Structure 1
Amino acid sequence: MQIVWSLGALVRALPAQGMQTLEALLDRIHALFDSDRQKRQQVAFSVAMIALSAKMAKADGVVSQAEIAAFQQIFSIPPDEMRNVFRLYDLARQDVAGYEAYAAKMAALCDDDGQSCELLADVLDGLFHIAKADGMVHPRELDFLRQIAGIFGLADEQFAAIRYRHVAVGKDGPYAVLGLDPGEGAERVRARYLELVKENHPDRLAARGVPDEFMAIGIERMKAINAAYASVAKGAAL
């Protein structure tokens, strides 16, 4: 199910200018998907990825062709929907509301009950994927992403695990990717690895509202987890 293309009706209902984009988005999402919480989360995921990537581009000041290609890797945009998606992107970039407001509203929309939402970590993962597309994550992008993680309520170790999946690091990086402290024993390392494999199974991703288009990033995530496990295994009796 390619939920991102539910965005067509959403985007067409937005104002021509970006001044009320954020509130218009939230009102429209609730109106269209009020009775379907899962679909609401899926659409919220797509909106968060599009809007926050636009805000990240504004914070960095540069939008490279590589970043656009990475964006399109996440969203395999049909030609007849390209206009709608990039209209949302442009309106979010122009909107006077700061990225902090977008992140906070999207976090609240992700889970109306106020509980933690795994989907927010998926959003941050996608933003890192876009940020690194031009060969590196620039300091302003990293600061932006760290602020987003804080607004999303992600713990420091969650941010570190996501960061180190995308950014080359030192010898402790593989442990961070696995969410472990350096020096953990073989039994704990393997148990944690199996937990991550289960958490990132495509069925689990779909169940928490990740659209089909994002599964390619899920595959890249598992490659990083496998590489981290292989690296840690060299120093432990696994």
Structure 2
Amino acid sequence: MTILEHISDILARASGGVQSLVAAIRDLFRSDPELRRKVAFSVALIALSAKMAKADGVVTTNEVKAFHEFFAVPPHEMRNVARLYNLAQQDIAGFEAYAKQMAGLCRGEAHECAMLEDVLDALYHVAKADGVVHEREQNYLARIAEIFEIDETHFAQIQARHILDGEADPYVLLGLPSGATVDEVKKRYRQLVAENHPDRLIARGVPEEFIIIANGRLAALNNAYERLELTWRKK
């Protein structure tokens, strides 16, 4: 059974909107944490993307295209995605309720806590698809980060990865002070590249379709490191 088929099956059982769906994920996959993470990630991205679109007020063609870069949805399963997306948009519960439930799935497990950052990264990818992260989208994402208990420094790193002109402060992107030494930069860069390898995301339960997240992180890290290298050469 595919991830989307699992979601469809849960939707058939859930009667209280997306909130009851998240609760069902915890109960149905209690003995299979890897599958729970994959289903939870997919549900979080679909539902929170729908709420973000509603907060922004406009769903552009590029945002829809970006969404489908993650979900290579076969035609016969498109209705499952559409059903959850529409349910989330129509649900009277606010996005904060969803985000809190997703954060609640963490339960102190490193894999599931790290996955919350993956969800936030994916939402940024959708938000910036039309060429700009609008103020309401930025406020939405900042609130999601707060609920996910992602601290300000870490959130600044995530933001920097998604600055569209590629000119984010490389030290912020690497999570280092501007006075960091060359050795400190090299050590941190190698650490982040290892942490964000696609295999790491797959190991913590992110569906393989979402490896675009890891690729985007690595591209941003490489850009930041190359810009610092260029600065060192000029000295």
Q: Structures share a fold, TM > 0.5?
A: yes
User: CA RMSD, aligned part only?
Assistant: 2.1
Q: Within the alignment, does 1:219 sit opposite 2:226 as a pair?
A: no
2:61 is equivalent to residue 65 of structure 1: yes
Counterparts of 1:1-238 in structure 2, within 5 Å, are: 3-15=3-15, 20-109=16-105, 111-113=106-108, 117-168=113-164, 173-236=169-232
The alpha-carbon deviation at position 85 of structure 1 amounts to 0.8
Calculate percent identity across the aligned residue pairs.
Answer: 49
The gaps in structure 2 that reach 5 residues or longer are none
Can you list the C-alpha shifts for 1:183-203, whole angstroms capped at 9, x where unaligned? 311000000010111101122
Residue 100 and residue 114 in structure 1: after superposition, are their counterparts in 2 closer, same or farther (change >3 A)?
farther
SS of 1:83 mapped into structure 2: helix
Per the TM alignment, residue 217 of structure 1 is displaced from its structure 2 partner at its CA by 2.4
1:49-107 CA distance string (max 9 Å, x none): 00000110011000011001101101111111100111101101111111111100011
What's the CA shift for 1:6? 2.7
Give the Cα separation in 2 of the matches to 1:51 and 1:174: 32
TM-score, normalisation: structure 1: 0.91
Aligned pairs, number: 233
C-alpha contact 2:4 2:81 (8 A) present in aligned 1: no
Query: Equivalents in 2 of 1:103, 1:133: separation in Å?
Result: 22
Q: By how many angstroms is 1:32 displaced? A: 2.5
- Identify if the C-alpha distance between structure 1 residues 4 and 222 changes in structure 2 by more than 3 Å, giving closer, same or farther: farther
TM-score normalised by L of structure 2:
0.92
Alignment partners' CA distance in 1, 2:159 and 2:191: 19
Query: For residues 108 and 178 of structure 2, what CA distance do their matches in structure 1 show?
Result: 35
Deviation at 1:108, TM superposition (A): 0.6
